Amino acid sequence: MADTTEQTEQRECRTIHAGGEWLTAASGATREILDPADGRPFAVVAEGDEKDADLAVAAARAAFDEGDWPRTPAVERAALLRRVADLLIRDRERLGLLESRDAGKTLEEGRVDIDCVADAFRYFAGLVAAEAPGRVVDAGSADVHSVVVHEPIGVCALITPWNYPLLQASWKIAPALAAGNTFVVKPSEITPLTTIALIDLLAEAGLPAGVANIVTGPGHTVGARLAEHPDVDLVSFTGGLVSGVKVAQAAAPTVKKVALELGGKNPNVVFADACATPEGFDTAVDQALNAAFIHSGQVCSAGSRLIVEESVRDRFVDELARRAGKIRLGRGTESGVECGPLVSEQQRAKTEEYVASALAEGAVLRSGGRRPDPAPERPESGYFYEPTVLDHCHREMRVVREEVFGPVLTVETFRTEDEAVALANDTEYGLAGGVWTSDAGRARRVAGRLRHGTVWINDFHPYLPQAEWGGFGKSGVGRELGPAGLAEYRESKHVYQNLAPQPVRWFAG
């Protein structure tokens, strides 16, 4: 028998998962999830609060303190993570489509995201399965066995952003599980759907009840409660600087471990020698577009600051602006669309305000800077904004200093290598940056001088699961991916065993 509307809504609203059960919010509150391509609701989720967060933490605490997962052999934990990766690939089309509708990105971007999520689970499975059981420490005596072992840290609160919902969740969930932890994940209230789906896949793969828990709801209630909760041992947050500071402050009284990835204002430095050939010029322009406008610029590592050598500036920016104006905007599921909408009306309004302030401060608009005309693949009710190139920008402009998180590229120029490095480092953030040059010596020099956690040379945006991801300055603390990403979810214990104990005779008695 077909579901009634009431039954369907009731099922949809059970998006809080604690102790192996799907639940509605304790308050009964719900939230509509909007498709940013047309502004219309297409799903309903539970709107959790502090009570729901407490319930989920209690489930995770019990599963860690009393359950088998923390003591499950690493090889078995690795096998489960590999099963999850297989299930992700099995459901790639469904999850990619859901990510496209939820976050507004193109369907192809959604599919690639699912591939990357599966890669993350496989990487951490391989990493933990291949590890030695402990690091032997030489105590200088044959009668002493001394070893440093790694243990799970406990209950992890994982707070994820709206721009790459499942990918960012996987960078936290996969290492947390590989290390033997339990967790409560709070996805963005704007884009929670694929993270909800992942919880089902974890259960299907055989993860014990209570190990994986999710609370859908806003950051100021659910996120704040998780950050301060005395039974949470670690909080990992990816998002904006203001919210990250609040998370760190909430976590401080309980002295829990904190990992923060807080975005960036990332330079893409183009030297003239990179453009000396037609192929080199075309590639540098193409990659500058990719750096700035993939996922409508809603990427923490977006190359939103183009810093180009003065001698090629006019030719480079002319071609960049011409091609930016030809980017095809539309619903991410439509064929031929290259760039989707912004995630919300609020995000578009923020982008418009930054562009207006830049023009008022003297920037020159070379392309975009407006809402596009409606089209069949681009409803007027969608949150679309044209890819925008702002020329003649300088450090004093807000649009150059602050993270826009929209399809806006600013252009600055330099004459010398020292000036290029100074401009690239002149930011309170330090997440990522790019260097374009045909001079291998210059590439190494400049990359070495940039104060950014990731530096791409003659490329932009690729990442490797094996390499640590994180930033300098206000881009955050801690690392994700790579061995350091696994280490974030562990405690080290020194086990010192005296095989021939003797009295020390320090005291009379």
Which residues belong to the active site?
261, 300
Which phi and psi (to 5°) does residue 410 adopt?
-100, 150
Exposed (0-12), middle (13-18) or buried (19+): which is 495, by Cβ within 10 Å? exposed
Pairwise CA distance, residues 441 & 428, whole Å: 27
Six token digits for residue 351: 């982008």
> CA 308 from chain center: how many Å?
28
Q: What is the DSSP string of 175-199?
A: HHHHTT-EEEEE--SSS-HHHHHHH
Q: Which residues are paired to 306 by β-bridges?
A: 268, 411
CA distances from 426 to 12, 393, 402, 451, 473 (A): 47, 14, 12, 9, 11
Among residues 420, 407, 395, the alpha carbon closest in space to that of 291 is found at 407
3-state secondary structure (DSSP) of residue 384: coil
Six token digits for residue 139: 């105590």
Q: Please compute Rg for the chain using Cα positions.
A: 25
Q: Where are the alpha helices (DSSP H) in 192-325?
A: 193-204, 224-228, 241-251, 278-293, 310-324
